[in-house]
Amino acid sequence: MANRHLMAEMTSPEFAERIAAGAVVFIPTGTTEQHGPHLPLGVDFQLPQAMALDIARTVDGIVTPPIPFGYKSMPRSGGGPFFAGTIGLDGATFSNVIRDLIRELVRHGARKICVIDGNYENLWFLNEGVDLAYRELKDTGLKVMVLQHWEFLTEATLAHVFPDGFPGIELEHAAVLETSLMMHYYPDLVHGDKLPDNPPAESGPYDVWPPHRDWVPDSGALISAKGATADKGRIIAEQVGADVVTAVRKEFEV
């Protein structure tokens, strides 16, 4: 049976009917990049897709197919171009994809759009794409939210997930947060016997070209993932999902 919340599984008339009824459209974005020896390349768009579907079920929204490519992975936050399978777009390309997708959704009647992103480096290029679209379409009544899911983590959740202290989102690439969420949503894609346990990556407080290979641990994870569990993933997903639902209902009055 087709999922009524997934755009890709709807017929054209079904999609038109849902949009006409004022459904919020969720766009999952991320990128395709290495996430260590234990996680798949698709983590950064797979997690927003799963979280968007949870939220869409609650507010009766629609989830578009994810955008699987985003801005370039950087050594200090994602490992950079040193690993096979890491694919990045130029910033202008990514912004234009976002602009065009929003423009097309609006052409079909969408007026409430929420972008849920999973790639740390994407944010400003996402905002640029939305701004380009909004300048063109603001007279249509369009409203757009852009969020990165980890920004909704509460102090209580972080204290539970990191009893020894949160190391900071910049180091959480392929580590406890992402691994726990993948264990919750996609357990069959996690290689539990290969969880990296390296010390935190050490780098300067700046970026440099050509990038320094020694700034990135050989595992590709920027800090140990050994503390990850499916239960932590469930707690993260439930707390973040509930708080995103609250924000969506506030902004879109649904």
pLDDT in tens, 104-151: 999 999 999 999 999 999 999 999 999 999 999 999 999 999 999 999
Q: Is the dihedral of CA 73, 170, 236, 245 positive or negative?
A: negative
| Number of residues assigned to the chain | 254
Q: What domains can be seen in the chain, in order of their start residue?
A: 7-252 (3.40.50.10310)
Confidence of residue 31 (pLDDT cuts 50, 70, 90): very high
Residue 9, CA distances (Å) to 12, 82, 149, 198 in order:
10, 36, 24, 41
Contact 62, 13 (CB under 8 A): no
Predicted confidence band of residue 214 (pLDDT cuts 50, 70, 90): very high
Residue with tokens 């994810």: 66
What is the structure's pLDDT at 248?
98
Q: Which residue has the tokens 């968007």?
A: 52
pLDDT digits (tens, 9 = 90+) for 146-186: 999 999 999 999 999 999 999 999 999 999 999 999 999 99
Residue that the structure tokens 């959704």 belong to: 105
- Alpha-carbon span 187 to 139, nearest angstrom: 44
Mean pLDDT of 189-208: 95
Q: Is the pLDDT of residue 228 over 90?
A: yes
129: nearest Cα among 108, 89, 101, 88: 101
pLDDT given for residue 2 in this prediction = 83
pTM of the model: 0.96
- For the segment 238-249, the average pLDDT, to the nearest whole number, is 98
